[in-house]
Structure 1
Amino acid sequence: MKTTLEKTTSGWQLKREGKPYFIRGAAGAHLLEDLVAAGGNSIRTWGADEAGGMLDKCQRLGLSVTVGIWLGHKEHGFRYTDPKAVAGQLEAVYGHVARYKDHPALLCWALGNEMEVGLDDTESEAMWKHLEQAAQSVHKADPDHPVMTVVAEISDKKIAQLKQLAPSIDILGINSYGGAPSLPERLRKAGWTKPYVLTEFGPLGPWEVGKTEWGAPREESSTQKARRYAESYARAVAGQASCLGSYVFHWDDKVEGTVTWFGMFLPKTSEKLASVDVLTQAWTGKPVAKPCPELVSLTSTAEGKTVAPGATVSATVAVRASGPVRVRWELRRENNAWLTELPGEAGKPFTLAAPTEPGAYRLFVYVRDSHGGAATANVPFQVK
């Protein structure tokens, strides 16, 4: 299927086989049937090494795919100033495009993901020039699908370099979390006039929140995070004339920061969290029939504190839900290692003995309803 970009009087329009196509997408490779049920129509990948099976599955489900082609990162040892390395990477890019360019699920190409991070001025210039070479190569091999690149947030300098050194890039993909609501205005001020896609958004990242005195980031509850998703979508995606859509992060469970930080579903059991409800309503325009429980508050005597080995820790969770809920408490080390899990009740104090081994810990609470919805939160504490 051919994908095209059309300049309109107010912005940009993505078209697929000549018909307007707005990306209602998610980053993730699982729970795709749930994505379709929620009103989603697309996914993005970060690499293309095994894209064939995913493209086939998405085609069966009626989903399109922005196929990511991984470009090297400095932190992984790649050097954009190394002619041999960049030549090999160009060859790999061409190979991926030749292999998948005719697949009917392909929406567009995404060259790289945050590969600009950590580069000095010389390396940065070399990277953008290499990106331009890669984009030209993709356009030559496949004129039927636009080329995107994905960056970690924006800056005036980043936008200026992209415009000057990689003009063959058609679409800018932006990964933005706390900064997403202000993105359209910042893009305007930076002088970006081409279309954009919000390629990752969600809760505040661990790098954007307050920390305990021992450095543990304070994670918001799933209910609070859902409000972040809603605000980002409303202000950076919906109604923005130059925005072609978005890919929410992350359509699955995911261990990064903590076991619950970025996942839109609970670990292992895959109950949906309120962020799924937010996107379902945004995509379908209809209220969710059975919304997830709302976690009103989580209080604990240990929250953000240092407690003695074996000391009694108490916590209480307050919940608002349309029916009965089940509550489970879980203790983990700060490195996410699981220690124990115990039952509890909403609105009633839960107590446990703090570990005897010194270190950083988190007490998680999971609230589940009877129709596949859930809520979660946690408190960090230290034993010393």
Structure 2
Amino acid sequence: MNLARSAVLALLWVLVVVPVASARAATAIVKVADGWQLQVDGKPYVARGVTFSGSRSADYEKDCARLAALGVNTLRTWGTGTETRVLLDAAHKHGLKVLVGLWLRQGRPGAESDDSFDYLRDTKGMKKQFTETLAQVRHFKDHPAVLAWGIGNEVLLNSPDDASKEAYARFLEQVVSEVKKIDTGHPVISVDAWMFGVPWWEKYTPSLDAYGLNVYGGGIHVLPGELKKAGVTRPWFITEFGAQGEWDAPKDANGVPREPDDTQKYDAIVDGWRNALAPQVQAGRCLGLFVFNYSASFDHTGLWLGMLSGTSTRPAWHAVREAYSGQKPATPLPRIASVTVGEVKREKSSTFAQVRVDAKDAEGTPLDVSFAYNFRGAATRHERDEVVRLQATPGPTPDAWLVRLPTVKGPIKLYALAKDRAGNLVAATTSVALPVAP
């Protein structure tokens, strides 16, 4: 995913070795029977992870304590920055390891804050990235929380053509080779979406110790077979995972992607770990999983895939705990059974709709209901990602609300949000075609 990572960049800027070159290495990927095994201090280690955006550095210690209590043992970041040391310290205090991201710039506009970089021609820029990346490795390599290095994220997916992909993969090999000279104690991986990086890594980046693969939804069951068909012999991590993403989701009658409901999101995480990946871990192919995403952001991606929304826990929070520890919620989570939008009317300069929301907790107690919207047809990336609260007043029945809708041109995604007394936030979405202003 791209959206939550944009915010993390400002905060948080495995050589297939058999055996690893230095006996003093804290982390190693070693050949075991017909597969591979990740080891920390000589002991088998399976990454039960989440990607980490966090909220603010002052809360990192609390974040790490909460995640450890869920059964999480590893965090993944996308880049390093001024907050990285704070995160590593907090992670180590609570027994967590970190797959430390080393950011490399994207190859086309439209990804990661519309940044773009030319790996065919910008030799000065590549030298700068090379130097800065190695500096970060030198700075953090001796920290006890470092598990491995993750260099680049979905750059091949976001490269404009084959020539650019080859240029980037060759540059990546230079970076990986040098990182491994500087730090013999931690494996090096690179990350891309689905199988897009595999053929380029196989041909041009042979020094990688393992592959990092981002996959969402039912693809988690298909990916191992695709890797086998492609003849991949290196081990791999699933470096991002969650429910079906917007890019794969079918669209409704208004052209808005249909978001999976909260139960489907929960089940995807538990099923993905237990049924799709557990056999691959046992066979020595998969080294671990990172569920996307631990972040407090209230935005389009946060609501679709996140574990938190502000201080409230989303169903993915509880799904991560069940996947990694086997512990189900103490009481069933609240749910929104249905959201129905009535006639949309314009009154003077405002637009309203009566919306019925059937939302209760396990005991039948009504929940604290609110509304918000997202406009995917907005002009800027910031606006397309933004989720904006809506004013609503109680309607004629307990489950009806009069919602004041925004004045935008085009269909909107409408969120019905409901929170229980324990701080669990559930969501249901639909779309609304707004009337054209006279």
TM-score by length of 1: 0.89
Within 5 Å, give how 1:232-311 maps onto structure 2.
Answer: 232-240=272-280, 241=283, 242-257=285-300, 260-266=303-309, 268=310, 270-295=311-336, 297-302=337-342, 307-309=344-346, 310=351
Which segments of structure 1 move beyond 3 Å, counting only runs of 4 or more? Answer: 212-215, 253-259, 322-325, 341-345, 353-363
Look up the match of 2:378.
none
Look up the match of 1:186.
226
Would the alpha carbon gap of residues 362 and 342 (structure 1) be closer, same or farther in structure 2, given more than 3 Å must change?
farther
Within 5 Å, give how 1:83-232 maps onto structure 2.
Answer: 83-116=123-156, 117-155=158-196, 158-178=197-217, 179-232=219-272
Would the alpha carbon gap of residues 249 and 255 (structure 1) be closer, same or farther in structure 2, given more than 3 Å must change?
same
Look up the match of 1:372.
423
CA contact (8 A) 2:367 2:420 kept: yes
CA contact (8 A) 2:368 2:420 kept: no
Structure 1, unaligned runs of 5 or more? none
Structure 2, unaligned runs of 5 or more? 1-24, 55-62, 109-114, 376-383
**The 10-residue stretch of structure 1 (221-230 or 11-20) with the greater mean CA deviation from structure 2:** 221-230
Aligned-residue CA RMSD (Å): 2.4
Would the alpha carbon gap of residues 106 and 352 (structure 1) be closer, same or farther in structure 2, given more than 3 Å must change?
same
Q: Partners of 2:394 and 2:262 in 1: how far apart?
A: 19
Look up the match of 1:69.
102
**The 10-residue stretch of structure 1 (355-364 or 122-131) with the greater mean CA deviation from structure 2:** 355-364
Look up the match of 1:331.
372
1:111-148 per-position Cα deviation (integer Å, ceiling 9, x unaligned): 10111123311111111111111111011000000001
Shift of 1:234: 2.8
Amino acid paired to 1:161: W
TM-score by length of 2: 0.79
**The 10-residue stretch of structure 1 (326-335 or 193-202) with the greater mean CA deviation from structure 2:** 326-335
**The 10-residue stretch of structure 1 (141-150 or 69-78) with the greater mean CA deviation from structure 2:** 69-78
CA contact (8 A) 2:50 2:291 kept: yes
Q: Partners of 1:203 and 1:68 in 2: how far apart?
A: 23
Q: Partners of 1:258 and 1:16 in 2: how far apart?
A: 33
Look up the match of 2:112.
none
> Number of matched residues?
375
Amino acid paired to 1:56: D
Aligned sequence identity (%): 32
Say yes or no: does 1:36 pair with 2:68.
yes
CA contact (8 A) 2:393 2:402 kept: no
Shift of 1:379: 1.6
Q: Partners of 1:185 and 1:344 in 2: how far apart?
A: 52
Would the alpha carbon gap of residues 255 and 166 (structure 1) be closer, same or farther in structure 2, given more than 3 Å must change?
farther
Match of 2:399 among 346, 349, 352: 349
Shift of 1:230: 2.2
